[in-house]
Structure 1
């Protein structure tokens, strides 16, 4: 999902509660805060020596231990006002992928993609998910697109990486 799509979703539903589902059936606590917005530029080389370049917006969510008993979620309006304030100081790229960075004691720190948006009564639910790492140079490494995770084509001595 692009940053502008997420911002539009919030703008279209200002009076709804904003919830984040970080894995199926598991929600970020109502005590979350938006603690950082990152404008990230990735300038990389993959294992096939191919350069790549892209930008992302990463919004960090943090559950405050001081508000662990909080039951009311942040409204889309409040989240949008935070993001608009950030945007005035350090403008966000609108046409780039938006991700959410999150962790809790039972879930490792991860940058999560938006898989889906759902409106359920008074709630906006942002369904997040992980994306597995992948070899971008499959042709160079001789890895077929249909290869399974248990294959050893990219094993040491195979010529890959």
Structure 2
């Protein structure tokens, strides 16, 4: 989800809620401790130099039950960050403390911001020789001999 979409949604909400991929809600007394622009400059395994930028929200669960974050407050933090850090309309990712700092994508279901899972990936599959799709093989085509028979060749 792009930052502009998050801002539009915040403008229409009375309260903010984040839901983890397992369905649990981030406690309602969370804080957004950081809004930032993260720039990643790297080389992939195929030798291509790449640059990626995302907007990052860091959620923190404190024992502060009296200062809940309201949509208009988060919107003002985002707008200040855009101005000071020169943030464009980038994709948003969210950091939240699990067993370690976990990174999530973000979506919205009409009530909650959904923290979506992210996966690692090879960006140079064509240079690494990794097929784009796994070949589909029928086990019956692999061998005419019955598998795992005493004279079979599978073990």
The unaligned stretches of length 5 or more in structure 1 are 149-161
Equivalent pair of 1:62/1:102 in contact (CA under 8 Å) = yes
Greater Cα radius of gyration, structure 1 or 2: 2
> What is the RMSD computed on CA atoms of the aligned residues?
2.2
Q: TM-score, normalised by structure 2?
A: 0.77
The normalised TM-score by structure 1 is: 0.74
Q: Deviation string for 1:17-48 (max 9, x for gaps)?
A: 11111223111111211101121112111001
> What secondary structure, in the 3-state scheme, does the structure 1 residue paired with 2:5 have?
helix
Deviation readout 1:52-108 (Å, 9 max, x if unpaired): 11211001110013x2xx3995332222122223334333222x111111114xx43
**Would you tell me which structure has more strand in proportion to its own residues?**
1
Is the CA contact 2:35–2:56 (under 8 Å) kept in the aligned structure 1?
Answer: yes
| Corresponding pairs, count | 135
Unaligned runs of 5+ in 2: 136-155
> Does the residue aligned with 2:118 lie in a helix, a strand or coil?
coil
Q: Within 1, Cα distance between the matches of 2:115 and 2:126?
A: 30
Q: Which structure is higher in RCO with an 8 Å CA cutoff and minimum separation 6? A: 1
Other-structure match for 1:154: none
Residues 21 and 126 in structure 1, CA contact (< 8 A), matched pair in contact too: yes
Q: Secondary structure at the match of 2:10?
A: helix
